Structure 1
Amino acid sequence: VISVITISDYITVFGSNTYLNISHSWIGDLVVTLTSPAGTTATLHNKAGGNADVIDQSYSSAAFNGQSTLGDWTLNVKDVAAEDTGTLNNWSVTFTGIGDVAPAAPTAGFEFSANYLAVEFSDASTDVNGDITNWSWDFGDDSSSTAQNPTHTYAETGSYDVTLTVTDAAGHTSSKAMTVAVSNVDIEAVLKRAYKSRLGKLRVDITWQGSPSEMVDVYRNGEKIATVENNGIYRDRERRAVGDQFVYQICDESSACSNSVTVNF
């Protein structure tokens, strides 16, 4: 098996570390080498391991010190017995060196946390050159920001398409869009009664108030179990419920959710 990684950056190598993940019925039959663009070959694995069936480790080498990373790095996996089968699952090479990484575009990304109508945004953009210089946020409600990690408060309940555009020192840009749902609804849920028999027959009554929606979703232990009319009460019935703790939550179309109601038996 021959696999090639092409590197476009000119870096003078001071050290290398090659990671291998290979499945094979007898790794003691394998010889694995890495060849640099300059033609230097380093043997990483040489018929070691006997009848073990996986190589999952890293190999450091000084064989390429002083050479450039620019070009094709060729991994060669040879089975000297030729009677077994295997798979090169993954490999990578990491260099320690000095030089300039070629300019590359950033990758925009962000996370957010909503508390009623207020949302905290956290920049999660990346750039191999580490030179992002500008953040431009469009909050989807005709508001914007150039802060890296802004907080924005919406005027009303709804879903908004938020876009972050980042720009690096070379002028490269990248954008990421996500839908953010906010709500000023405060749903209060209360346990009315709960029963569970020795055979697992479950009956739990939950009441709530505060949502203006026509329908609400009922969640038990993080999974939606029903969508019902917003009449303020729901009876959960299960013939053979498994477990001794059940956590309920009521959510509506505005993305608002009630407090968690925990039932222990």
Structure 2
Amino acid sequence: MKATTAILAAVTTTFVIAGTADAGLLGTGAGFDIPDDDPVGASTSFVAGSSGQIAEITVNLDNLIHTWSGDLIMTLTHDAGAGDVVSATFVNRPGSTTDGGGTFGSGVDYAGNYSFNDAGDDLLTSLNSAGVSLAGGTYSHVALVGGTDALSTFNGRDTAGTWTLNVSDNAQADTGTLGGWSVDVTTVPAPGALALLGIAGLAGRRRRG
């Protein structure tokens, strides 16, 4: 009697592939009036889904009109739920005592579209060299100010949750409006795994009986 037994062995090998960065719009918030001399200020929010971990973030302010830029404090807050809340005050009365300057801060006006990113031009330096109003552009208020937070505060957090922008006027005699706002993020997805099924070996054994 002759019997032939073939044994097929297979192994699964897992390769970890680093996720590629993905940049894009996270969400948009409605505009609002900015009340004069009111530290509570005004806020609007949007809800975002999960699109990965944040590697870089930019806050865009559309049609911000406000005299005396040194009155304003701007804070972005991310509420991920279950008590997980993080805030970053990325503009804090530029040119005021927070900056080691005067009581009232910079008298240059906001009158355009502005973005804030940690790699932007220094806000206070730009205000000091501006004319009546600050030119539209991308700014950062981190380099010279101890009273502000880097937007990198949000790095490593998942994008999912409620995002809120608050803007407050903290001195008398000036009011303004914000036409709308949005947040752009660069995200890095969790590392993916690719499973490849390969043939590790084929053994044949012949038995005679």
Determine which structure has the larger helix proportion and give its number: 2
Higher relative contact order (Cα pairs below 8 Å, separated by 6+ residues): 2
Question: Normalized against structure 1, the TM-score is what?
Answer: 0.35
Question: Normalized against structure 2, the TM-score is what?
Answer: 0.44
Larger radius of gyration: 1
